[in-house]
């Protein structure tokens, strides 16, 4: 390990003492760079990309898919190239994205029981609860109970499919377009799409007065 990353040298009185995990991350990054596995530039580019993405990016993608059935078909079949069409190019270094569509018959919900795999390249960083042991265990054992806590009560006739992203794919849920939104513009539709409904723990929420009667 390089001397410059030795956490022992940080002075507590400076108020800048790094946590154990921050120091560990720095040490690992320094080692990876030292061994030529990646460059600091690559690390910075990935960090900048993740930090620049947020659920509003995912919401735009969902709203576009709702408005354009042909785009939706391409998004489900080949997310990476469909996203490129609308200006979201995912770097080759990011894990493959899979988009799963909620329908009247099937509702998807995403979890990573092993760690915190999440479509960061599109949605940015996951919420803290997504990474919690409570969510990671309850999402697989009692998904309907979790959804109830997010305000979604699904009928028994709807099949719940929980996706455990254990490996090389990251999942984005394409929620159902709410009824009564036929006259909304794409920008208005995007406002209905929350981060949580792209994880699948709930459905898009339509505020009073927005949907056509």
Partner 1 sequence: MAQSNKYRTGDQVKVRVDSPSHHYRTPTYIQGKTGVVVAICGRYRNPESLGHGGDGMPEQLLYRVAFAQNSVWDRYQGPSGDKILVDIYEHWLDPVGV
Residues 33, 147: Cα–Cα separation, whole Å: 42
Q: Which of 96, 103, 149, 185 binds partner 1 (CB under 8 A)?
A: 96
Count interface residues toward partner 1 (CB under 8 A): 23
Q: Which of 63, 90, 99, 163 binds partner 1 (CB under 8 A)?
A: 163
| Stretch (H or E) spanning 100 | strand 96-101
* Shortest distance in whole angstroms from residue 128 CB to partner 1: 21
Looking at 112, 165, 194, 197, which residue is catalytic? 112
Is 115 marked active-site? yes
200 binds partner 1 (CB under 8 A): no
Contacts of 62 (CB under 8 A, 6+ apart): 174, 175, 189, 190, 193, 198
Looking at 38, 115, 137, 185, which residue is catalytic? 115
Q: Which of 30, 49, 160, 211 binds partner 1 (CB under 8 A)?
A: 160
DSSP 3-state of 112: coil
Of 18 and 37, nearer to partner 1 (C-beta) is 37
Of 66 and 135, nearer to partner 1 (C-beta) is 135
Residues 120, 55: Cα–Cα separation, whole Å: 9
Angle at 18 between CA 12 and CA 23, to 5 degrees: 135
- Residue-wise DSSP of 17-85: PPPHHHHHHHHHHHHHHHTTSS-HHHHHHHHHHHHH--HHHHHHHHHHHHH-HHHHHHHHH-HHHHHHH
Residues 114, 164: Cα–Cα separation, whole Å: 9
92 binds partner 1 (CB under 8 A): no
168 binds partner 1 (CB under 8 A): yes
113 binds partner 1 (CB under 8 A): yes
Is 197 marked active-site? no
* Shortest distance in whole angstroms from residue 97 CB to partner 1: 12
Residues that bind partner 1 (CB under 8 A): 96, 98, 113-114, 140-145, 156-157, 159-169
Residues forming the active site: 112, 115-117
């Amino acid at each position: 390990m390089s001397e410059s990353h030795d956490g022992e040298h940080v002075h507590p009185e400076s108020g800048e003492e790094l946590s154990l995990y921050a120091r560990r991350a720095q040490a690992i990054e320094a080692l990876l760079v030292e061994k030529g596995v990646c460059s600091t530039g690559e690390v910075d580019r990935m960090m900048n990309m993740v930090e620049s993405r947020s659920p509003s990016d995912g919401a735009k993608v969902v709203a576009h898919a709702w408005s354009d059935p042909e785009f939706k078909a391409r998004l489900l079949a080949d997310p990476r190239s469909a996203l490129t069409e609308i200006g979201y190019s995912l770097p080759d270094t990011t894990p493959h994205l899979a988009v799963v569509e909620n329908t009247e018959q099937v509702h998807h919900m995403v979890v990573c029981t092993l760690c915190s795999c999440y479509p960061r390249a599109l949605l940015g960083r996951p919420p803290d609860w997504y990474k919690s042991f409570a969510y990671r265990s309850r999402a697989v054992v009692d998904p309907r109970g979790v959804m109830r806590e997010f305000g979604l009560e699904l009928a028994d006739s709807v099949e719940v499919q929980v996706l455990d992203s254990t490996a090389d794919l990251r999942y984005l849920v394409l929620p159902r377009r709410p009824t009564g939104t036929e006259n909304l513009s794409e920008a208005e539709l995007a406002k209905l799409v929350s981060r949580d409904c792209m994880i699948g723990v709930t459905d898009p929420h339509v505020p009073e007065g927005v949907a056509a009667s």
